[in-house]
A and B are shown apart, each in its own frame.
Chain A
Amino acid sequence: MSAEPTPAGGKIPLGQRLMDSPFLLLVLGLLVILVFYTGWGLWEILSLKPAPLP
Chain B
Amino acid sequence: MTAAALAGLAARFRTCPTTGLKVDRTAQRLITAFAVAAVVSMIAGVIGAFALVLTRWQAVHLLPATWYYRLLTVHAVSMLIFFIIFFEMAVLYFAGPVLLSSRAAAPRLSWLGFGLMAVGAVLTEVVMWSGNADVLFTSYPPLKANPNYYLGIIFFAVGALLTVGLFFANLVVARRAKTYEGSVPLVTFGATTAAVIAVITLVHGAAIYIPTWLWAMGWAPMPDPEVYRMIWWGLGHSSQQINVAAMVSIWYLLGALTVGAVVINEKISRTAFFLYVLFISMASAHHLLVDPGFGAAWKIWNTSYAMYLAVLATMIHGFTVPAGLEMGQRLRGYTKGMFEWLTKAPWGDPGFSATIFSIVLFGFIGGITGVTFGTEQINIIAHNTLRVPGHFHATVVAGTALAFMGATYYVIPLVFRKQIAFWPVARIQPYLFAAGMALFTTSMTFAGTFGVPRRHYDISFAGAALELQYSPAVDLLLAIMGIGGLLAATGATLYIVIAAWSVFFGKPLPEDAKEGMAMGFHGVPQGVLRLPKQAYGAEAGEPEVRPHEGALKLRGTYVLVGVFLLAFIVYYFVNWKLLSFVWKVG
Contacts and interface: CB of A to CB of B under 8 A. Distances in A.
A and B, direct touch (CB closer than 8 Å): yes
Interface of A: 1-3, 15-16, 18-20, 22-23, 25-26, 28-30, 32-33, 36-38, 40-42, 44-45, 48
Interface of B: 168, 171, 182-184, 189, 192-193, 195-197, 199-200, 203-204, 224, 226-227, 230-231, 234, 238, 263-267, 270-271, 274, 277-279, 281-282, 284-285, 288, 292-295, 298, 301-302, 306, 544, 546
Given A1-B263, A2-B544, 14 more contacts: A2-B546, A18-B274, A25-B193, A28-B278, A32-B281, A32-B282, A37-B281, A38-B234, A41-B294, A41-B302, A44-B295, A45-B224, A45-B293, A45-B294
Nearest to A27: B196
A25 B277 contact: yes
A15 B199 contact: no
A41 B298 contact: yes
- Give the interface centre of A18, A28, A33 by most chain B CB atoms within 10 Å: A33
Main secondary structure of the interface of A (DSSP, over half): helix
19 contacts: A1-B265, A2-B546, A16-B267, A19-B270, A23-B168, A26-B168, A29-B278, A30-B196, A32-B279, A33-B200, A33-B281, A37-B284, A37-B285, A38-B231, A38-B234, A41-B230, A42-B227, A44-B293, A48-B293
A42 B295 CA distance: 11
Given A16-B183, A37-B284, A41-B298, A22 B226 contact: no
A40 B224 CA distance: 16
A26 B196 contact: yes
A52 B38 CA distance: 52
Contacts, number: 96
B306 A38 contact: no
B337 to A, nearest CB: 24
Contacts of A42: 227, 230
Contacts of B544: 2
A25 B199 contact: no
B271 to A, nearest CB: 7
Contacts of A29: 196-197, 199-200, 277-278, 281
A41 B226 CA distance: 10
Contacts of A22: 168, 171, 192, 195-196
A36 B264 contact: no
A37 B195 CA distance: 19
Contacts of B274: 18-19, 25
